[in-house]
């Protein structure tokens, strides 16, 4: 087992205090958006050998993939850690985004390589050849946009906007009337695609409509029964004034997760995290197609090709295996599953639900990881990489501990 040090990503939307507070260390003074725990080549964790020598985790794994990953993971996913874990802290909205399927990622990555687009180009859509299914586990109240509402539900929101504008003697912008017409189409996919395309390609018509809507709502126009969606829209506009994503947000489901709740995000699901602290797990990829709420590159044709234009319910992931102080969150993906482990003082050891390689991060108290081959103590904020050959591993509290310890472990989903 290897203790690992992890990379902080200082994106502007990140909280300045949440990750530091969770892990029990001083804040850096700047935004701390994500802490990456894994072997993605863009920001690999650093493994610490028993003799103190350090090595990038991706290089360590590449030195003996069978030893570190195990035969099953190697056969299914190739010679790389198949998942990436992040501690994510959103103070402001993240970009509206979608992730490609595995087939789309492979085709797009090969196409952009053949076109000679540099790997670090801001115009690049595909930075690797992998898909990026995700799951977010809320550590605090966590708000997000996730997938399309039904056309009827979205139409109701835009009809409400038209009504309050009309009541305020403001002419209803043509783009809002057009979206209402789009959402009236009998085919769900065509309705959602038409409305989305109209808004993302609307240019100044969208920004003018946002000005009209914001002025009327802030003047006190009624927001019920769509208060949550409209309040979120106004907040998004504060962060990204006049962005098409402001009105696109009204096409999407608004989620308010409580601590301990989790949702999964499959390929093609358009989404955006709005605010909160969580543990995010995904396939090891950085492929993102953005659709707004960002100054970064937006490739509208590729985005529209990637989105699944279908309404969806909230894709919750319920905990299973909750006995013995552990909770397992198993989304419908092979690449990963998440285990939450809570240990009171003197608690019995909890077996790690390990299938292939694993990573562990401690967010409260202290624990000891032990296997027949070795043991490794971890304090709050500490993290570890566990090779497949260490299995079975138990997690237990430090002897004499007086506080509850909480750790999260991620391994592959191959053992489901």
User: Could you read off the pLDDT of 367-407 as tens digits, one per residue?
Assistant: 999 999 999 999 999 999 999 999 999 999 998 889 999 99
Confidence of residue 313 (pLDDT cuts 50, 70, 90): confident
327-373 residue pLDDT tens: 999 999 999 999 999 999 989 999 999 999 999 999 999 999 999 99
Instruction: Say what the pLDDT of residue 110 is.
Output: 97
Catalytic one among 127, 149, 198, 290? Answer: 290
Q: What's the chain's average pLDDT?
A: 95
pLDDT at 416: 63
The whole model's pTM is what?
0.95
Assess if CATH 3.30.390.10 describes domain 327-411.
no
pLDDT tens string 158-212:
999 999 999 999 999 999 999 999 999 999 999 999 999 999 999 999 999 999 9
Could you confirm whether 198 is annotated as catalytic? no
pLDDT of residue 144: 98
pLDDT confidence of 291, banded at 50, 70, 90?
very high
Confidence band for 94, pLDDT divided at 50, 70 and 90: very high
CATH of the structural domain 2-59+80-146+263-305, one choice from 3.40.50.300, 3.50.50.60, 2.60.120.10, 3.40.190.10: 2.60.120.10
Sign of the dihedral defined by the CA atoms of residues 141, 144, 150, 152, in that order: positive
């Amino acid at each position: 087992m290897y203790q690992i040090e992890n990379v902080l990503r200082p994106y502007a939307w990140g909280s300045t205090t949440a990750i530091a507070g969770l892990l029990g260390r001083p804040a850096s003074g700047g935004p701390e958006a994500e802490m990456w725990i894994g072997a993605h080549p863009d920001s690999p964790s650093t493994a610490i050998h028993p003799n103190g020598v350090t090595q990038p985790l991706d290089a360590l794994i590449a030195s003996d993939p069978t030893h570190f990953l195990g035969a099953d993971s190697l056969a299914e996913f190739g010679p790389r850690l198949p998942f990436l874990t992040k501690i994510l802290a959103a103070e402001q909205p993240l970009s509206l985004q979608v992730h490609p399927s595995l087939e789309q990622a492979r085709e797009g990555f090969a196409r952009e390589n053949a076109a000679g687009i540099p790997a670090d180009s801001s115009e690049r859509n595909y930075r690797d050849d992998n898909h990026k299914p995700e799951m977010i586990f809320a550590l605090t109240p966590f708000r997000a946009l996730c997938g399309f509402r039904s056309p009827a539900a979205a139409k109701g929101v835009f009809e409400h906007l038209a009504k309050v504008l009309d009541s305020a003697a403001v002419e209803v912008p043509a783009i809002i009337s057009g979206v209402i017409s789009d959402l009236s189409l009998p085919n769900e996919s065509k309705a959602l695609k038409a409305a989305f395309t109209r808004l993302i390609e609307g240019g100044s018509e969208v920004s003018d409509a946002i000005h009209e809507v914001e002025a009327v709502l802030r003047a006190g126009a009624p927001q019920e029964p769509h208060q949550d969606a409209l309040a979120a829209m106004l907040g998004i506009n504060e962060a990204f004034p006049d962005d098409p994503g402001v009105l696109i947000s009204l096409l999407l489901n608004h989620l308010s997760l409580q601590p301990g709740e989790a949702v999964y995000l499959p390929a093609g699901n358009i989404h955006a995290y709005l605010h909160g602290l969580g543990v995010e797990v995904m396939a090891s990829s950085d492929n993102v197609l953005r659709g707004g709420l960002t100054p970064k590159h937006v490739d509208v044709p590729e985005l529209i090709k990637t989105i699944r234009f279908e309404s969806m319910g909230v894709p919750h992931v319920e905990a299973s295996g909750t006995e013995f102080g552990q909770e397992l969150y198993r989304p419908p993906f092979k690449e990963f599953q998440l285990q939450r482990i809570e240990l009171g003082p003197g608690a019995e050891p909890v077996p790690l639900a390990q299938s292939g390689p694993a990573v562990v991060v401690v967010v409260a108290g202290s624990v000891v990881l032990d296997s027949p081959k070795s043991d490794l103590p971890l304090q709050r904020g500490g993290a570890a990489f566990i090779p497949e050959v260490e299995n079975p591993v138990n997690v237990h509290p430090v002897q004499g501990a007086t506080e509850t310890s909480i750790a999260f472990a991620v391994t592959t989903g191959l053992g489901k």
